[in-house]
Amino acid sequence: MKMSIREAINQTLHQEMARDERVIVLGEDVASDQGGVYGITEGLPAKFGVHRVIDTPITESAIVGAAGGAALTGLRPVAELMFVDFLGVCLDQILNQIAKFRYMFGGQARTPVVIRTMIGAGTGTGPQHSQILYPLLAAIPGIKVVTPANAADAKGLLTTAIRDDDPVIFCEHKALYMDECEVPEGEYLLPFGQARTAVQGSDITIVGMSRTAVIAEQAAAQLAQKGVSAEVIDLRTLSPLDESTILESLAKTGRLVVVDESNPYCSMASEIAGLAVEQGFDTLDAPVKRITSPHTPVPATPCLEAEYVPNVARVVTAVEETLAY
Amino acid sequence: MDVPTRKLKTAYRLMKTIREFEERMRSEYQQGKLPGFIHIYRNQEAVAVAACLDMTNEDYIASTHRGHGHCIAKGCEIEAMLLELACKEDGLCNGKGGSMHIADMSKGMLGANAIVGGGPPIAAGAALTAKTLGNGAVSMAFIGDGASDQGTVAESLNLAVVLQLPMIFMYENNRYAEFTKSPKPDGRIAERAGAFGMPAEVVDGSDFFAMYDACQQAITRGREGGGPTAIEAVCNRYYGHFEGDPQAYRDQDELAQERAVSDPIPRFLADPRAAALSAESIAEIDAAILSEIDRGFEVTYAAADPTPDKLYTDVYIHYEGRLR
């Protein structure tokens, strides 16, 4: 059935709440009639009641921390951190508490919490509502970071996230919510740590994640018209990272462009470029290129925001330069 | 309020265990035999013991960096605790937590916390579990006077009121936040908690019986769906912030005076309500405590350190990626 990412996430929450009564949803506005800013939780309170779909005050440390504490004691909470930018308010509860429970308690703890959060630029929401920040999260041992790029993956990965016994941060790109594709009916799970080869190709590998996977696919379609066969890899999960799919593709094509909406330093693009140099050096026929956002905040004005985010033209140019090396 | 003899014995045993356990720890620590930082709880024993006396393993506590007393009061085994404080393989947390992150999930002890104010949101989450499951359990956050100023505490107070959580905010006002004397008069913390819309009272934290009375009411309120309670236990921090802190910032005469009047153990024994405890039974309990601690240290010093491969275990339950 064809549906948007927004609908796929909503359907998955319905399915998992119906399947397991330990699953609760909490966050700001989640129990409102509108189902939050983008209607993601629409219909949940009517079906499952406000004791399982819980509106909270605008206090992110309490939301995330309580979700962690509830997970530690037997529930399977899905907390909503409305925008990932609000990580600035509640990072301690993720970094020092939830991520470390299992390790610092010597394996006694089980913390099956999912933190759903909106990421990304492209909708004019400005410096404090548009960041990516997933490299910051992927750098923390003890949590998993998931970045779906289409509705089918959103369903498969969110189902897996809710059933996973470790803490998972589920990153939803706000510019992709209305993107539609075919989504499998019924129960659908996708394993973590397995990237998707979105386009098969032989001349060059383009790696993307979340929205940049979509951009990479669009670039590959343009390149195909110019006779370039680009392979596109959508990482799906950043932690765990599917290194072997990247390295196998690189071994086949010899060339690598990574497209990442992060700021450049310590980005996922840097991580993957490092991987290619360290473990794929012999297979490289050209330097690795990183297409990222610049080392600036996200501007509110749409004309500068359009400059900020990676786009198809930049990817096509980078691919052509890499092929010409 | 009459306290049954069995409970009196337990209360005395736990307070005295905390005292002897920590005094022995201090001495071993000073000899360089224990690693890391330790924060001693002396003179605050009545708070933890009164707070946990009517709890079961299904009730939860979130502790602080000064957490040894909370652990013992919640029922953690002495030997397993010592093994953890010495960071041994068979410690409660396999040596990966140590004093400031010790936890015992089987006892509902959700961890000491090296982040001041880190625990209350977690305790609120445990209270949310209890409320959601409707199992009558309660959850308690221990909070120092320093932590009482943290935003996480305010957020947790608010959430507990909004969701009517079965939660107790157990403030331990020992009047010193690390090296700095609290500028707040006693009672201000309870007043602040009360302003969020929950019953809040100030109790003499050196008086076991007053504390137990307040805790029983708070726990009953939580179990019966009456929502959260705050208790400000005013007490004395006998030693420094951490072991080795000479407390040069304290007025020494005042400290000596506070130490003398706020020791909860002689005060407990002198109370007519503890009269049922005979001298013989006290001596018996004391002897048993000392031998348990001796045995614990013996086992601990003979115990193995974690093997190097343990660096990589228990980061996740299952991880499809690379850890090194």
DSSP A55: E
pLDDT of residue A37: 85
pLDDT of residue A153: 98
Q: In Å, what is the CA distance from B19 to each residue of A275, B29, B141, B300, B320? A: 54, 15, 22, 19, 46
Determine whether the interchain pair A102/B316 forms a contact, defined as Cβ–Cβ distance below 8 Å. Answer: yes
pLDDT of residue A33: 84
List, in sequence order, the alpha helices (H) in chain A: 5-19, 44-48, 60-72, 87-92, 101-104, 134-138, 151-163, 211-225, 243-253, 268-279, 302-308, 312-324
pLDDT of residue B275: 95
Per-residue pLDDT tens over the stretch A69-100: 999 999 999 999 999 999 999 999 999 999 99
Give B141's contacts in chain A (Cβ within 8 Å).
none
Q: Which residues of A are catalytic?
A: 129
Residue A82 and residue A104: Cα distance in Å, rounded? 28
Which residue in B150, B66, B148 sits closest to B114, CA to CA? B66
Hey, which residues does A199 pair with through a beta bridge?
A232
The residue type found at A64 is: V
Report, as an integer, the average pLDDT of B241-264.
Answer: 93
Per-residue pLDDT tens over the stretch A207-230: 999 999 999 999 999 999 999 999
In B132-151, the residues whose Cβ lies within 8 Å of chain A are: 132-133, 139, 151
pLDDT of residue B307: 97
Residue A249 and residue A251: Cα distance in Å, rounded? 5
pLDDT of residue B2: 84
Residue A303 and residue A121: Cα distance in Å, rounded? 12
Residue A145 and residue A99: Cα distance in Å, rounded? 12
Residue B224 and residue A66: Cα distance in Å, rounded? 21
Superfamily of B5-312 according to CATH: Thiamin diphosphate (ThDP)-binding fold, Pyr/PP domains (3.40.50.970)
Q: For helices B78-85 and B5-30, give the axis angle rounded to 10 degrees.
A: 20
Tell me which residue has tokens 């991580």: A271
Determine whether the interchain pair B121/A192 forms a contact, defined as Cβ–Cβ distance below 8 Å. Answer: no
Fold classified for A2-182: Rossmann fold (3.40.50)
Determine whether the interchain pair A59/B159 forms a contact, defined as Cβ–Cβ distance below 8 Å. Answer: yes
Give A59's contacts in chain B (Cβ within 8 Å).
155, 158-159
Q: Domain locations in chain B?
A: 5-312
Q: Domain locations in chain A?
A: 2-182, 196-324
Percent pLDDT > 90 in chain B is 97
Give A70's contacts in chain B (Cβ within 8 Å).
125-126, 128-129, 132
Neighbours of B254 (CB within 10 A): 9
Tell me which of B241 and A33 has the higher pLDDT. Answer: B241
Residue A16 and residue A52: Cα distance in Å, rounded? 12
**Is there a common fold for A2-182 and A196-324?**
yes
Q: Quick one: chain A helix, strand, coil %, rounded to 5?
A: 40, 20, 40
Q: Hey, is the C-beta of B67 within 8 angstroms of any chain A C-beta?
A: no
Q: CATH assignment of A196-324? A: 3.40.50.920
Instruction: Label each residue of B62-87 as H, E or C.
Output: ECCCCCHHHHHHCCCCHHHHHHHHCC
CB A145 within 8 A of CB A169: yes
Q: Give the pair of three-digit tokens for residue A126.
A: 């400005």
Q: Is the pLDDT of residue A275 over 80?
A: yes
**Closest approach of chain A CAs to the CA of B276, in angstroms?**
38
Q: Burial level of B308, CB count in 10 A (0-12/13-18/19+)?
A: exposed
Q: Is the pLDDT of residue A325 over 70?
A: yes
pLDDT of residue A113: 98
Per-residue pLDDT tens over the stretch B190-200: 999 999 999 99
Give A65's contacts in chain B (Cβ within 8 Å).
120-122, 124-125, 152, 155-156
* Residue A35 banded pLDDT, cuts 50, 70, 90: confident
**Closest approach of chain B CAs to the CA of A3, in angstroms?**
29
pLDDT of residue B1: 67
Give A56's contacts in chain B (Cβ within 8 Å).
159, 162-163
Neighbours of A151 (CB within 10 A): 26
CB A98 within 8 A of CB A92: no
Whole-number average pLDDT of chain B: 96
B129 to chain A: closest CA residue:
A70
Q: How far apart are the first and last CA of chain B?
A: 59
**Closest approach of chain A CAs to the CA of B277, in angstroms?**
37
Residue A45 and residue A317: Cα distance in Å, rounded? 48
Residue A291 and residue A81: Cα distance in Å, rounded? 27
Determine whether the interchain pair A62/B159 forms a contact, defined as Cβ–Cβ distance below 8 Å. Answer: yes
Tell me which residue has tokens 């009121």: B161
Q: Give the pair of three-digit tokens for residue A186.
A: 């019924």
Per-residue pLDDT tens over the stretch B29-46: 999 999 989 999 999 999
